[in-house]
Structure 1
Amino acid sequence: MAELFPLAEELSCSICLEPFKEPVTTPCGHNFCRSCLDETWVVQGPPYRCPQCRTVYQVCPQLHKNTVLCAVVEQFLQAEQARTPADDWIPPARSGASSSATEVACDHCLKQLAVKTCLVCMASFCQEHLRPHFDSPAFQDHPLQPPVRDLLRRKCPQHNRLRELFCPEHGECICHICVVEHKTCSPMLLSQASADLENKLRHKLAVMYSHINGATRALEDVRAKQHSVQDSMNRKMEQLRQEYMEMKAVIDSAETSSTRKLKEEEKRVYGKLDTIYQVLVKKKNEMQSLKAEVELTLAKGDEFEFLEKAAKLQGMSTKPVYIPKIDPDHELIKGIYQSALNLKSELKRSLKQLQEKKAEEPIASGDMGEHGSESTPKYTRPAKKTPRK
């Protein structure tokens, strides 16, 4: 079975996991039992999908019997059945107790043990009550045989005769008169039929033993593959987590750098405006002081004192307040914001390309690289721009 097991997998339906029965081929090239695929699509309904590759069919495709595959499966099953049973397995022995070896009571006295059964009288007799069959000429043509147990059950209900033959075509025991009704069959003696069926059942049991061993190995293989897939996915998820952590670190670094530049620009502009504010406060206080002196001089009554004070105040000049233009570096702010937009657009574009690639290509079974570099896009930090002074 070891050398046939790989072939058994190839010749098995992926729905019922048994050898193909009337295999059919889908347009996408996969094989299934006709009944399995029909039942699957009846339950699934349109649109119809291939159970193996998930190809979609809006209309149920026409399925044709794969005659070549059917012949291969038949030859495989014949080769499997012809194999000898495993050496380490011995079929259970059939009970050797024959019905004639058991104790049967005399049907006449119901006390003594029967020594013979008459196939004409359909009764069993002890030594005493069997005597007429030896002494009387009327019983000389009655065939005798060792005592038969459950004689009533072995009688033919139609002809009241012992059923000594077996019809393999109908699978029933018959008597000699029933042979007329089974003339197209091939009846055989019960002992011969019993031995023949026993050999067939023993062979069937050996084949079942091989199938059970194969199923056990298949279960172990499936469980091993489950563990392998689980371990592989855990490794890939850890790699993926590391990659996303690196990407997050790149984004966090870019955000920190951009935020620092904006705060530096804010500090520069805010500092200059604060200096201007302090100068304006000083000038306002000076003008208010001069205003108060002018008002006080105008209120003086002494003309001599007024002239001296007015002449002095007249010589002091006053100018309107001038506010220099202090604005943030809009080009710098625009560049920082544009860098963030470029990083976001690049991230979206890379993710979209990756999703489209996965949708177009079949799922690959190979592992990712050491750091998942085959499937994870790399990002570069935006170039730093020199702040404008």
Structure 2
Amino acid sequence: MAESMQKRDDDLICSICMETFRKPVMLPCQHSFCRECIDSYAGKFKHVKTNESPGSTGYEDVHQLIACPLCRASTSLGKEGVAGLPPNFHLAEIVERFSSGVNVEDDIPYCSLCEEGNHVRAVKFCTNCGVFYCGDCLAICHPMRGPLKRHQLISSQEYLSQETSQGQVSRDHQSTQQPSCARHGQPFGLYCEPCRMVICMGCVVEHQGHAMRDIPSAAENNKPAVLSRTNELEKVFGETKESLSGVLRLHRKIQENQKLHTQEVEKAYRAALGALQAWRQHSLDGLKTSYSQWSVECSAIFKHLQLQAQEMERIVRASKDLLASMDVEFLQGSTDFTKTTDDQLKGVRSELEKHEVSRQKLLASVQHDQVVPRQVTVKETVQECQDLEAAVGGQISPLRVTSKFLCIKGIQ
């Protein structure tokens, strides 16, 4: 409450003199200042002349342009200067009431549509509907479009000001004047029941033979019918307010459910994304292990074959050297060469067979591990995920996503 009082006090202070407003006036930008303060402030700005326009009298208009002390918006004071600025009567009244110790907020009525126990002070009053609205109810129940676009909305403070002034004027008017006939200028004194209208003594001739009553008794006689209709209207009005409250509750429920479902979707998305990231990392780790092992085995086969190739190259060179030697040397070395070469060829062929077996086995492993796209499917139940697993083969991991399941093939 202290903070509210302090804020309200600050709202009643002129931003130029830093004192409570004295005879506040309003600039076109809707900012208000003391008349004396803005007059002194305007003295800092020069007068300017407007260019003569076609069809003018030949005289140049002289006016003064000032910048708003708060928002710097340009304002033309016109020929009257500061005296031509409109007074802010509403602000002046609030200052007067606040200075006298009256709590302005206590007079502001509550919203007509809010639920019992959750009353909120009204911010607007519709002069056409006769209903007070808080900010939420105004946006939902009284949008300024369509047929409601023509309705006049005023602030709650403005309504209080109008109510006070109109009430006083009405009371003064009633105390000083009595309704009179427009034709004869005489006060009304009788009520014609067949015609259902009030008349003066000058109208009696026109209503000869009609049943007449004095105005007080006629008013009392007609009040029950009006009261009955008033009660019926109040009943229907109450039902309308109840319906509006129900629609308002429904709208809030829609907003709450949208928020909750959005959170569920985001949560499910993060869970699914986490599962897919885990599958990705698991798959990459498995690929790295398998292909690293296969690369080592392939390198070992290559090195063995490379050594055998070098040995065969050496034997081929020795054979060519033996063939190119003298006959005696050829005959002396051919026997040993033939025996040695046969043993080496036998060993090389055996190694080649072993390496070929290893190569074929390794090739089969690599070809068997083909890269295929993983299947991601949304199913209603775990049973449907199991049926999918039986249909496609392989491991299926069902991940719960809100009321459904995200079935991902390949996650172990």
Which TM-score bucket, shorter chain as reference?
0.3 to 0.5
Q: Which has the higher helix share?
A: 2
Normalised TM-score (structure 2): 0.40
Q: Which has the higher strand share?
A: 2
Normalised TM-score (structure 1): 0.42
Higher relative contact order (CA 8 A, sep 6+): 1
